[in-house]
A and B are shown apart, each in its own frame.
Chain A
Amino acid sequence: MLEPVMFTGGLYKHDLIVELVEDLGGYILQKNVTQSEIILLILVPSEDKDALEALAKELRAELVRAPLAGTETAVVTPTLAIHHLPHTACDIAEYLRRHGSKTNMIGLARGVGREIAQINEYETALINEHDAAVFIYGNFQDCIKHKEKLYQNISIPVVVTGGPQIEAKELPYAFDYVPSIGRVAHRAKKATEIGTLDRIVESVGRALDKTRASIAKDPLTTSPPRVMDAVREQVPDVEFSYSPLPIALNLTGVRVKLPYSRYKEEVAAVKFDEGVRLGEIASIRPSQMKEYILVRILPSSETGFVF
């Protein structure tokens, strides 16, 4: 079992951590260097976490559990206008990021209003590429219930946030409803507001656990971090991608940030030690996001083996 953790410490000697993680059979998911500081998102085998903790302590660094690491969350607002940004949407996105998730902010083209709100097929497909979505709504109960139509066709778990108290059962299409964070015009800084952000993180965490549990019933042929490692090694051009995170991890696969038309064969040809190629154990298709490559690992019931 791999445990997601976040390492925050000095740049000096951080390569010792990288080496240790590789020796233990873990993975470095993300590396962020900010001047002399470094933040690493790491997956480490849970039985060896103590060794990593001991080394982090020696380096005077901080090692915390990052329950959302290795997942991608969509933070969806009705539009990208001043009414929703920067306060609510950015606060939620940043808070999810602090817990290890990779968040994408999505503003719908026509999500505004009550009667006129709509979502199109492309937006639905784009949101469905994530592992969970957070829909940010406002302060009026009636509107929150009415605007259920925006997410009822979305197949990933949706956490809805809004101002008033509403029973979760009144929103049957949502995975969960988190109240007391409706439309606000100031930054979240009070203890109660931070508490609400914690509740969103907890709720997204539960949604992801539910997805993980359903994947466990029919496990994937291989794990996404392993695919990430293999692609990084065998498709060297990925390091030249301008994205801060050239390979984004999902629960069921990865998104490789290279143009689909030029690199699809190269990604499909990635070979594992066991002799299989990525194209045989995963579906490789164009992502809705830019022209990226979306790799979805097939479950063992389709390929007949797990490695």
Chain B
Amino acid sequence: MDPMEVFKIEVTGEEEFGAKKYRELIMDILQDLGLIRSIGRLYVYVDIKKPFFSVYGLLRSGIPPLTAKDVGDVMKVQGGYQIKINDEEHMADLLRVLWERYGRERVDQPARDVLIIASDSSPADITVADLEAEFLQDLTDALVRIAPEGFRNRRNEMTKDSFLFIAAEEQLTQEIVSEIKEKIREMENA
């Protein structure tokens, strides 16, 4: 079963097999990169004679930025605050933002997963990483992997809740872009 609400793929010419295989391929790559849950709808339109490859997707609701309290437990202790790290993946990012905010001399790390900040202001709401930016980066990587190799003229229009990716061998003209947009609108309304 598709984890997405809508997943349509259309290839011009007699390429039913190609369309079916690309469906599997897109699923495999999105799953590998852990992106599949963040995409709600996906429309793929390919014309292999011209040739170009396009993907339009609607993203599920935005991902909030990661804060210090998501990474570990923040507690008030004598002389400051203590963070007990639960998710070490973002340790480096956390240290970087704490150093920036409080200065190195006020951030102490007595154990591998414990940080003590000598300050009166709580670090709980400090932003550690912008997951949305990371997600968009991963998504671009996935789209480049999905597009057939050699389609090196690319256009990537990303907004907060959707993306349109076009890749072609020849230069992208205004006609091609509007043809793709038209087609995708048709697929959406069908």
- Point out residues on A near B: beta carbons under 8 Å: 78-79, 81-84, 112-117, 138-143, 163-165, 182-186
20 A/B residue pairs, CB under 8 Å, sorted by A: A78-B150, A82-B145, A83-B149, A115-B51, A138-B18, A139-B15, A139-B21, A139-B22, A140-B48, A140-B148, A142-B48, A143-B51, A164-B17, A183-B21, A184-B21, A184-B25, A185-B24, A185-B25, A185-B28, A185-B32
Pair A115/B169 contact, Cβ less than 8 Å: yes
A139-B169 CB under 8 A given contacts A79-B149, A83-B148: no
Pair B21/A142 contact, Cβ less than 8 Å: no
How far apart sit A286 and B11, CA to CA, in the bound complex (Å)?
A: 47
| Further contacts, 11 of them, CB under 8 A, given A83-B148, A183-B21, A184-B28 | A112-B150, A116-B150, A117-B150, A141-B18, A142-B48, A164-B15, A183-B25, A184-B24, A185-B24, A185-B29, A185-B32
Pair B29/A114 contact, Cβ less than 8 Å: no
How far apart sit A186 and B25, CA to CA, in the bound complex (Å)?
A: 8
Pair B15/A140 contact, Cβ less than 8 Å: yes
Judge whether B49 is part of the interface by a CB distance below 8 angstroms. yes
Residue from B25, B145, B169 within 8 A of A114 (CB atoms): B169
Pair B25/A142 contact, Cβ less than 8 Å: no
Pair B49/A165 contact, Cβ less than 8 Å: no
Chain B residues, Cβ within 8 Å of A185: 24-25, 28-29, 32
How far apart sit A186 and B51, CA to CA, in the bound complex (Å)?
A: 25
- Nearest chain-A residue to B29 (Cβ)? A185
Residue from B32, B51, B149, B151 within 8 A of A78 (CB atoms): B149
**A222 to chain B: closest CB distance in Å?**
44
Chain A residues, Cβ within 8 Å of B152: 113
**A165 to chain B: closest CB distance in Å?**
7
How far apart sit A182 and B149, CA to CA, in the bound complex (Å)?
A: 13
Chain B residues, Cβ within 8 Å of A79: 149
- Residues 1-56 of B contacting A (Cβ, < 8 Å): 11, 13-15, 17-18, 21-22, 24-25, 28-29, 32, 48-49, 51
How far apart sit A114 and B15, CA to CA, in the bound complex (Å)?
A: 15
How far apart sit A112 and B152, CA to CA, in the bound complex (Å)?
A: 10
How far apart sit A182 and B32, CA to CA, in the bound complex (Å)?
A: 19
**B30 to chain A: closest CB distance in Å?**
10
Chain A residues, Cβ within 8 Å of B148: 83, 113, 138, 140, 183
How far apart sit A116 and B169, CA to CA, in the bound complex (Å)?
A: 8
- Nearest chain-A residue to B141 (Cβ)? A82
